[in-house]
Amino acid sequence: MVEEPSGEIKPKNVGFVRVTKVDARFSRAQIIIGGILWGKIERGMFVEERPRFPFDFVFGGFLSPVGIEAVKLGLRGQLGNGILREIDNDTLEIISHGKFGYAGRFNVNFNIGRVSRSQISQLWLVLGGGAGIIPLKAKFFGEDVKNATFGWLGLGLMKKFYFRRLALAFESNVVFSNFEFSIKKTDGSDTVKYALSPSLWFFGITAGSGVEFVITPDVNIGGRVYYQATPKSNEWSFLRKVGDKEERRKVKFGNVNLSGFAFQFYVNVSIKNFAKVRRFD
């Protein structure tokens, strides 16, 4: 409590502590903000609980590793003449591609300690996904294709260790990812979509670590580096879609390898539960 020049007594926030263990008589907390550059947490100060909902929202960008074999293929021999009867050039060619898929990523992190009412501090269940593009230099039926749409889903565990405003985060996930590139052609009065994608979503495992910085009690920013391991595949799915009608065929094409280092940059937002604020003297 601070006395203003007018003589009025007002509260002033000087720090933020994170409770790590709750006991019947004494609880344990770790100082996150306060006591180094400004403010000082001392005996006799008031403490106000700042309860959160047991989940955080994470928004950010994600670079995912991509390897696609440069190869040229004539599709008519594999698909038959019927499906390609309106297409003059039946070849598909991958010339080159970017080393990463660029995706926007969204996570919901569930605090396992809070949900289970245990004394486990800062252990999180991570459920997330992302969508973006893979830069490509390719030709599909003689037309230039400059990118592929990219999707990613993941489920994992994360553990954080706080050192004042800095936190080390270690995370491991199982992930599913895939991509597709396509063109559209006019066939009479209909618009026909032709697309090619790996026939199955890639299953992989990621493991990595990173650093977070606490900006406010409710907002962290951070970055992480992962290694992603997935099996290679050369099985692709060819799609022809007219309106709601779809026709798919499997083809053998260049190998795809989604293993390698991945990078994430993000903002972590906690949601304060105003209905449960309590004050302790």
pLDDT in tens, 165-215: 999 999 999 999 999 988 887 766 778 888 889 988 999 999 999 999 999
For residue 101, what is the DSSP state?
Answer: E
Where b means 16+ CB within 10 Å and e means fewer, 42-58 reads eeeeeeeebeeebbbeb
Q: Look at residue 104 and tell me whether its pLDDT is greater than 90.
A: yes
Q: Look at residue 280 and tell me whether its pLDDT is greater than 60.
A: no
Which pLDDT does position 127 carry in this prediction? 95
- Using the structure block, give the residue that is written with the tokens 């879609």: 241
Which pLDDT does position 273 carry in this prediction? 79
Averaged pLDDT of the chain: 86
Cβ contacts of 59 within 8 Å, gap of 6 or more: 104, 105, 106, 266, 267, 269
Task: Give 215-253 pLDDT, tens digit per residue.
Answer: 998 999 999 999 999 999 999 988 888 878 888 888 888
Q: Exposed, middle or buried: residue 253 (CB in 10 Å: 0-12, 13-18, 19+)?
A: buried
List the one residue out of 238, 234, 265 whose CA is nearest residue 252.
234
Which pLDDT does position 275 carry in this prediction? 65
Which pLDDT does position 276 carry in this prediction? 64
Which pLDDT does position 93 carry in this prediction? 84
d(CA 146, CA 135): 6
